[in-house]
A and B are shown apart, each in its own frame.
Chain A
Amino acid sequence: MSGRASRERNWGLLMLSPWLVGFFAFQLLPIVFTVLLSFTDYHGTSEFKLGNFNFVGFENYLRLVTDPLILPTMGVTLKFALIGIPLGLVIPLLFALLVNSKHLIASSAFRTFFFLPTVIPIVAGTIIFNGVLNAQSGWINLSLKALGISDPPRWFSDPLWAGFALNLLAVWGLGNAMIILLAGLQGIPTELYEAATIDGANGVQRFFSITIPMLSPVIFYNVTIGVIVAFQYFVPALLIGQRNGDPQGSLLFFPLHFYRQAFVFSEMGYASVLALVIFVVTMISTGLLFFFGQRLVYYAGGES
């Protein structure tokens, strides 16, 4: 019996080994190394050998305090997150409710088309939004003008609106959240609604006392993923603003600042500090979410 158990363990570990090796080689060790690099002045253009990087103590961390771009770039990312996370919570929920409605004809076609933008590659999506939000020839502004708005936003040409334009692009790709919410909605036992109706609850009461609590684990999952994605977001900004975060730095997201320091200016030491900021902020916010969010989540089956 113990022979069998150890044989099972050996087989199990053998099959686990690709992940174990990958985790150490491509995740754990690199993070440790990022921490070490953050205390050095290593420059990316020089060869990686002992003489080329010196221990500089907390110099890179002090630079974080004096870097004039820290607050603006954090501001851009924070603004994106503060608008994007609530949108990412509400819009997919509304879509899921719509598709789930028994009054909707051809609901599976709606589901497919609401999901479609999610599979569109981010580069293609960026090109499309750059066009459809064009201040003159874009269909959005043509429609707004037709609706009587004589001076619609100039989107990617206006520092005030460029960030929000990317929020719209992000909303376009929320099909995953919608599908998960839809599955959640379909999993709510109809008896709950019937019982509530007999008790005299109206539609709004049923929504807030049955639908929302029953969906809370799924909503929690979507918010967590949304927070993680928001803090890493920068590729469309890099494509539109050409590395400078144009117009006028309004698209200079924090991860874009990191990208420039690391791979444009080759300041690997300082860039490691910026990478660690992204890492720590992500860890703290997901940690806080789990700490406070889990209390708000209702698990129907008791322990999850």
Chain B
Amino acid sequence: MATLTRLVSAQTAAAAFVSRRAVRTFASTLIVTVIGLGVMIVFLTPIGYMLATAFKPDSQLTAQNAPLWPAKAATYNYQGKDYPLYDVPTSTGIKRLALIRPFREDSDVFDPAHPEQGVFNVKGRWRTWSPVYEFSLTLENFVTAWDQVNFTLLFRNSLILAIISTAGTLFSCILVAYSFARFRIPGKNLLFIILISTIVLPPQATIIPLYILFTKLGWTGTWLPLLVPAFFANAYDVFLLRQYIMGIPRELDEAAMLDGANPLRTLVSVIIPQAIPAITAVTLFHFFFVWNQYFEPLVYLLGKEELYPISVGVGAFVTTFNNYPGRSAATAAVALLLPAVMFFLAQRQFMQGVVITGVDK
């Protein structure tokens, strides 16, 4: 950089000023981006670990000198048989040799780079040589995990739960949000404050009576306790939708009203089409919420495994798989796949929704 600066100082003063600024901007960009990459690598280490571990056999974890990335021991085919490759220290540097006949203090080897030498003997213990690895992905962890965890059933259950629950949430929250945003109701401000303060309410404060109630109704051990409350709106999603609807020009719905449309028609033909970004965000939030929900299904499903959603089903394997890191990693990868894909597809609407709920307070 010093030479760069010296170079530019030879030019005219004005040009030098501009270039020096360019150099400084370039340097800041470089520094900030490098720091950013460093932070990101540390931050995403767990995901790297998960992917690498899921795609490699567990034996590789304990093997000496094995790489972190998924790999298998490289072999060389000599006269119809596969022999393992080793990096062998010799008097002429490290050579990549195929181990043909291992003995204790010396071994018969073959040099693929010099086939004309044939099989020859080298001194040294082969156990001290480092094996050569080549990149290789194995799917065995996914196959075992898929069967043991019974992912087919869990996916089906979670999808059904998420779709019904999200439909109920959208239906109820859009109605409630529309009402809060547009209608003159006595005591509306107080009601809205009550709605917002329910965000603070810990689920523990209500779960025992709800559990008793749902048991009385015969609903425990079924999906009803998880689905029915979704049809009665929730503070987060109502708040998000209300903020968004309040931003839609009133003239639009007033015009529809003048044309004789009743409020429901106005909602369907004017408000909902205008509020699609907020509705998308709520859909995603709620879908993720159901996918994630653990406490309530654990309590209400009474151990009925055939009804478990993915969260509870996978939760049982967190410690069961403690001695099978590959299987655990594969399980985690499958469990997070759908939310991750949905997030990548709709991240703009998703983050916009987060901002609306957080900043407009």
Contacts and interface: CB of A to CB of B under 8 A. Distances in A.
Interface of A: 5, 8-9, 11-13, 15-16, 18-23, 25-27, 29-31, 33-34, 37, 44, 48, 95, 98, 101, 103-105, 110-117, 119-132, 134, 137-140, 142-143, 172, 175-177, 179-180, 183-184, 187, 217-218, 221-222, 228, 231-232, 235, 239-240, 242, 255, 258-259, 262-263, 268, 271-272, 274-276, 278-279, 282-283, 286, 304
Contacts of B359: 180, 183-184, 187, 217-218, 221
Interface string B39-67: 11001111111100100000001100000
Contact of A120 (B40, B61, B317, B336): B336
Contact of A232 (B43, B204, B234): B204
Nearest to A25: B232
A263 B203 contact: no
B295 interface: yes
B40 A114 contact: yes
Given A221-B358, A275-B207, A26 B314 contact: no
Given A11-B179, A121-B336, A180-B358, 11 more contacts: A11-B263, A13-B185, A16-B191, A20-B191, A23-B232, A30-B208, A121-B291, A127-B317, A127-B329, A139-B68, A279-B202
Most A Cβ at <10 Å: residue of B35, B46, B183, B358? B46
Nearest to B235: A19
A134 B325 contact: yes
Contact of B194 (A23, A114, A228, A304): A23
B232 A26 contact: yes
B248 interface: no
A19 to B, nearest CB: 4
A116 B343 contact: yes
Contact of A124 (B212, B216, B314): B314
B273 interface: no
A129 B31 CA distance: 30
Given A137-B61, A180-B354, A15 B68 contact: no
Interface residues of B, dominant DSSP = helix
Contact of A127 (B203, B328, B358): B328
B276 interface: no
A239 B319 contact: yes
Contacts of A11: 179, 183, 262-263
A132 B340 contact: no
Interface of B: 25, 28-29, 31-33, 35-36, 39-40, 43-50, 53, 61-62, 68, 172, 175-176, 178-180, 182-186, 188, 191, 194-195, 198-213, 215-216, 229, 231-234, 238, 262-263, 288, 291-292, 294-295, 299, 310-311, 314-315, 317-319, 321-322, 325, 328-329, 331-333, 335-336, 339-340, 342-344, 347, 350-351, 354-355, 358-359, 361
A300 B280 CA distance: 30
Nearest to B355: A183
Given A132-B49, A221-B361, A115 B208 contact: no
A262 B208 contact: yes
Nearest to B185: A12
Contacts of B179: 11-13, 15-16
B294 A15 contact: no
A275 B209 CA distance: 11
6 contacts: A19-B232, A113-B43, A114-B43, A117-B43, A123-B315, A143-B45
Contacts of B183: 8-9, 11-12, 15
B205 A16 contact: no
A112 B44 CA distance: 12
Nearest to B61: A137
A110 to B, nearest CB: 6
Given A18-B232, A218-B358, A275 B205 contact: yes
Contacts of A18: 172, 175-176, 231-233
B205 A279 contact: yes
7 shortest interchain CB distances as A-B pairs:
A22-B232, A12-B183, A180-B358, A30-B206, A33-B209, A103-B32, A15-B179
Nearest to B317: A127
